[in-house]
């Protein structure tokens, strides 16, 4: 047992969004114990949490979410009453190459985690009382929209296309099944594309900032006309905190930035900010744009209607896109060593050795 008011597991806390969620919770709930459960795949990097790793309310455990026994032991040892589940394989292009890894972690891993939570909580004296399993998902489960101004709402039927979104849709269904069948207290949120510091440079924004710095080509898929709705990652973390504490059990909430951008327009905006901050003449990096073959099954447009969250819990994004983009580019330029280590895989060897025997 411990002296904290509450112990919460955040899975995937060493990843991009997870690290912001952990930092946000440590900062806003100093009376909580935040247990970061992460397997440390290529996308997990404990360096993302260097600034808070010595906080008394922070604990890291290197565990695979599929490890049913280890998760149950951890939940029992620390009397865990909340799980915020972010651990996943998250990159669409990788899912097209290797769908099985996505099924293992996103589908079976989520199911295993649900089963662990169910076993521990059902057997505790208060049962499910005061407990919550909060599953973080994506807008990609809804499929793709046309250029007709329509938006994904919480009642849009699921129609995933990529192996990634199929695996996330499947995990969402399992979470709902545990709520509907066993009465487990669950909430799901489906969020649009996040951007900000600590994102692995395989995703569009950090990849392109890094390539601009190194004068490498910028591979725009297809004609660059696909549309994504972008949300600054700290706004997502704030929404997760709010929903974890104030959301209604059994509900789904969409989270979005009200900020649709065509890929090619986003790339031009990125070039503009990055060139300026690097002291290059305006437009110097435009020739780096290279149109390449389209992604297989590339979803045309995602756009989120987040009005339910706004209406019911009063959440709204705090940052304008221009400011978020400027902050993001500045962060990557100021943290080029992080980028170097991540792209060379140096950190992976370092932390794998460090936690090898845990």
Question: Across the strands, what pairs with 80?
Answer: 7
Q: Which does 263 bind (CB under 5 to 8 A by kind): ligand NAD, ligand TYD, none?
A: ligand TYD
Among 36-44, 242-250, 267-275, 281-289, which window interacts with ligand NAD (CB under 6 A)?
36-44
Query: Looking at 140, 235, 260, 275, which residue is catalytic?
Result: 140
CB of 231 to ligand NAD, least distance (A): 8
Give the helix ranges, DSSP H, for 260-345: 263-278, 307-313, 321-334, 336-344
Q: How many angstroms separate the CA atoms of 132 and 185, rounded?
A: 5
Q: How many angstroms separate the CA atoms of 340 and 1, rounded?
A: 41
Under the binding rule (CB under 6 A), the answer on residue 324 touching ligand NAD is: no
Residue in the shown chain whose Cβ atom is closest to ligand NAD: 15
Q: What are the residues binding ligand TYD (CB under 6 A)?
A: 92, 193, 203-204, 207, 219-221, 226, 228, 263, 295
Q: Which does 204 bind (CB under 5 to 8 A by kind): ligand TYD, ligand NAD, none?
A: ligand TYD
Q: Is 140 a catalytic residue?
A: yes
Token pair, residue 132, equals 């919550």
Under the binding rule (CB under 6 A), the answer on residue 237 touching ligand NAD is: no
Q: Which does 220 bind (CB under 5 to 8 A by kind): ligand NAD, ligand TYD, none?
A: ligand TYD
CB of 110 to ligand NAD, least distance (A): 9
Helix (H, G, I), strand (E, B) or coil at 260: strand
The string of DSSP codes covering 327-344 is HHHHHHHHTHHHHHHHHH
Query: Looking at 164, 232, 332, 347, which residue is catalytic?
Result: 164
Q: How many angstroms separate the CA atoms of 300 and 143, rounded?
A: 9
Half-sphere exposure for 116 (CA within 13 Å, toward CB): 26
Cβ closer to ligand TYD: 176 or 298? 298
Question: Across the strands, what pairs with 229?
Answer: 260
Q: Which does 62 bind (CB under 5 to 8 A by kind): ligand TYD, ligand NAD, none?
A: none
Query: Looking at 38, 139, 260, 299, which residue is catalytic?
Result: 139
The candidate with the shortest Cα–Cα distance to 252, out of 324, 158, 182, 327, is: 158
Q: Is 139 a catalytic residue?
A: yes
Under the binding rule (CB under 6 A), the answer on residue 162 touching ligand NAD is: no
Q: How many angstroms separate the CA atoms of 34 and 199, rounded?
A: 21
Q: How many angstroms separate the CA atoms of 302 and 122, rounded?
A: 38
Residue ranges binding ligand NAD (CB under 6 A): 11-12, 14-18, 38-41, 43-44, 64-66, 86-88, 90, 105, 109, 136, 138, 168, 191, 193-194, 200
The residues annotated as belonging to the active site are 139-140, 164
């Amino acid at each position: 047992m411990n002296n904290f008011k509450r112990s919460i597991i955040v899975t995937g806390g060493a990843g991009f969004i997870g690290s912001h969620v952990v930092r946000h919770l440590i900062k806003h709930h100093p009376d909580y114990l935040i247990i970061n459960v992460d397997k440390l795949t290529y996308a997990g990097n404990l360096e993302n949490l260097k600034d808070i790793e010595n906080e008394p309310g922070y604990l890291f455990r290197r565990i695979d979410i599929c490890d049913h026994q280890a998760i149950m032991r951890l939940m029992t040892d620390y009397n865990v009453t909340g799980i915020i589940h972010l651990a996943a394989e998250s990159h669409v292009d990788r899912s097209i190459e290797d769908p099985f890894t996505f099924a293992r972690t996103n589908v079976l891993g989520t199911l295993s985690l649900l089963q662990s939570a169910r076993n521990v909580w059902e057997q505790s004296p208060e049962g499910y009382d005061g407990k919550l399993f909060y599953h973080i998902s994506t807008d990609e489960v809804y499929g793709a929209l046309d250029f007709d101004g329509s938006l994904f709402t919480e009642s849009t039927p699921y129609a995933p296309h990529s192996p990634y979104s199929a695996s996330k849709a499947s995990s969402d269904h399992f979470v709902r099944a545990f709520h509907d069948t066993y009465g487990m207290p669950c909430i799901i949120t489906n969020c649009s594309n996040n951007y900000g510091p600590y994102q692995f440079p395989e995703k569009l924004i950090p990849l392109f900032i890094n390539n601009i710095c190194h004068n490498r080509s910028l591979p725009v898929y297809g004609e660059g006309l696909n549309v994504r709705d972008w949300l600054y990652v700290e706004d997502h973390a704030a929404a997760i905190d709010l929903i974890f504490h104030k959301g209604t059990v059994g509900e789904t909430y969409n989270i979005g930035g009200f900020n649709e951008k065509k890929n090619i327009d986003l790339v031009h905006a990125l070039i503009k900010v990055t060139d300026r901050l690097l002291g290059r003449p305006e437009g110097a990096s435009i020739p780096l744009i290279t149109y390449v073959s389209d992604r297989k099954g590339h979803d045309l447009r995602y756009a989120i209607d987040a009005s339910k969250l706004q209406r019911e819990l009063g959440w709204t994004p705090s940052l304008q896109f221009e400011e978020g983009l400027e902050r993001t580019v500045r962060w990557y330029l100021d943290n080029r060593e992080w980028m170097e280590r991540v792209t060379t895989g140096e950190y992976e060897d370092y932390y794998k050795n460090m936690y090898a025997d845990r």
